[in-house]
Every structure is written in structure tokens, then in C-alpha cells.
Amino acid sequence: MSPVKRITRSRAVQEALGFLVASYLKLVQRTNRFVMEPADAYDRIGPMMPVIAAMWHGQHFMIHFAKRPQDRAASLVSRSGDGEFNAIALRHLGIRAIRGSGARGRNIRKKGGVLAMRSMLRALSDGEMVVMTADIPKIARICGDGIVTLAQMSGRPIVPVAVVTSRRIDFDSWDRASLGLPFGRGAMVIGEPFFVARDADAATLEAARQAVERELDAVHARAYALVGSKDPGARRKQARPTLAEGSRA
């Protein structure tokens, strides 16, 4: 490990980075004028809590703006070094981190996917909302099976969410991450919640996976439209492999 990486991975540095990230995000939230669509989203979703809030990778910086102050929430965060200061930032934002991530093939145990699934099920059982990326790492905007399996096993509804600001930085990363800037306009779009039956067969689970993908694409397109932009991730999706193709990579 290089000296620079060793320093950035130290606990003190990561604590400082996490605090700074959280402070910056609070500034972005305070200084943007947000509109919520639909306007009665909280009235509709509130009685269903706890829910599974679904997002695309790249939305992880700002998705938590949509959380109400009274909602207890836990968010799935990878076990990577970068995930550590993300977890610290979440703590400063009042969100508990569950460490682990999805993976393809035999990497699932190394990534902590099994333990993470159990932790998320416990969180939902205890009344915590779970925030989770729906797509598989490195295959952005293609929904994986994990979030559908969580909904099936927990009995809790999946709620697609998108949060976008008019002033932002769109990174040229695999997930087309977006970071809001202060003093602009923002949009929070909440999709229709839907349940996955506990006795769902393979065909039903695949239909649910496709439905999550479609709805997440729709709420993102609408959120960007509300701030006068086009979703940069949508253009890249056309060149992405399908889930089946990605699993063979």
C-alpha cells in the first residue's frame, strides 16, 4: 500500500473526511429549493414504513435528502476502504451503515453479501428503513436480484427514489455518480411502492426485478426533467450489458 493510501485509510483521516462530506451534504440540502413529486409522497409512504428505498449507484451522495427526520434508516455500504468514510458520513447524517455489498459468483461471501442480507432483514424487522442500491457493482442501471430477494424475504415494499439538483457535478465514473452543489433547485421523485410475494416463483421474481429497473429509470428521468436536465446515466445504459450477459463477464 502506498504512503498516500495508507494515510487516507487511517481512522483519523477517514473520520475527518466523513465529517466533511456530511457537513457539505447538509449545506447542499439547506441551500437548494427542493420540490417533491408526488406532493403527497410522505402521506402515502409513511403508513407503509419501514420500506426498502431503492436507488441507482451514483445517487448515494444525495438519496438521503429524501428521508424524513423521524424515520430511522440503515444504508448498505461496501466493505471497501472508500466505504469506510462513507459509513462515517452516514453516521453524521443520522443513518446507520450496514457493511457489505452485492457480488456475482463466488465473491458474495467475500463481499459480505450474506451477512448484509441478514442485517438488512433484522433492520426492517426492527422498524428501520433500508436504503439500498438496486444495481450490481460495475453494471450500472441494471437491477440485480438482491433488492427483490430482500423484499420477498422481509415482506416490505420497494420504493424507488431519485434525488437530483440543478447545479451538480456529474462524474465520469462507471456509475455516473452525481454530487449536488449549493444554491440551486432540487427534485425528489418517489416511485410507486410495490411488494414481492413471499411465495413468488422464479418468473415472478424476474418480473419484479424488471419492474424495479423500469421504475428507477422513470423516477430518475422525471427528477432530471424537473430541474431542466437530461439524465446522463440513461445515455450510457444503452451500451450496458443485460443482467444475464453481465453474469457471464
pLDDT of residue 152: 98
For the segment 150-187, what is each residue's pLDDT rounded down to a tens digit? 999 999 999 999 999 999 999 888 888 899 999 999 99
Residue 102 pLDDT grade (very low, low, confident, very high; cuts 50, 70, 90): low
Pairing of strands 178-180, 168-170: antiparallel
Please report where in the chains the cell 421504475 appears, as a residue. 215
Residue 92 pLDDT grade (very low, low, confident, very high; cuts 50, 70, 90): very high
Q: State phi, psi for 211 to the nearest 5 degrees.
A: -65, -40
Of the candidates 162, 151, 150, 155, the residue with the CA atom closest to the CA atom of residue 118: 150
Residue 26 pLDDT grade (very low, low, confident, very high; cuts 50, 70, 90): very high
pLDDT at 140 over 70: yes
pLDDT at 118 over 50: yes
Q: What is the mean pLDDT of the chain?
A: 88
For the question of whether the overall pTM of this predicted structure is more than 0.85, the answer is: yes
Q: State phi, psi for 14 to the nearest 5 degrees.
A: -70, -35
pLDDT at 106 over 50: no
Neighbours of 13 (CB within 10 A): 13
Q: State phi, psi for 225 to the nearest 5 degrees.
A: -60, -35
Residue 249 pLDDT grade (very low, low, confident, very high; cuts 50, 70, 90): very low
pLDDT at 105 over 70: no
For the segment 42-90, what is each residue's pLDDT rounded down to a tens digit? 999 999 999 999 999 888 889 999 999 999 999 999 877 677 888 999 9
Average pLDDT, integer, range 22-31: 97
Q: Concatenated DSSP letters for the chain?
A: --HHHHHHTSHHHHHHHHHHHHHHHHHHHHHSEEEEESTTHHHHHGGG-S-EEEE-TT-TTTGGGGS-TT--EEEEE-SSHHHHHHHHHHHHTT-EEEE----SGGGGTTTTHHHHHHHHHHHHHTT-EEEEE-BPTTSTT-B-SHHHHHHHHH-PPEEEEEEEESSEEE--STT--EEE-SSSEEEEEE---B---TT--HHHHHHHHHHHHHHHHHHHHHHHHHTT---HHHHHHTTSPPHHHHHT-
Amino acid at 126: D
pLDDT at 238 over 60: no
Q: What is the percentage of the chain residues whose pLDDT exceeds 90?
A: 68
Q: Which carries the bigger pLDDT value, residue 15 or residue 173?
A: 15
Average pLDDT, integer, range 113-136: 94
Q: State phi, psi for 160 to the nearest 5 degrees.
A: -70, 135
29-33, 105-109, 141-145, 188-192: segment of lowest average pLDDT = 105-109
34-38, 142-146, 238-242: segment of lowest average pLDDT = 238-242
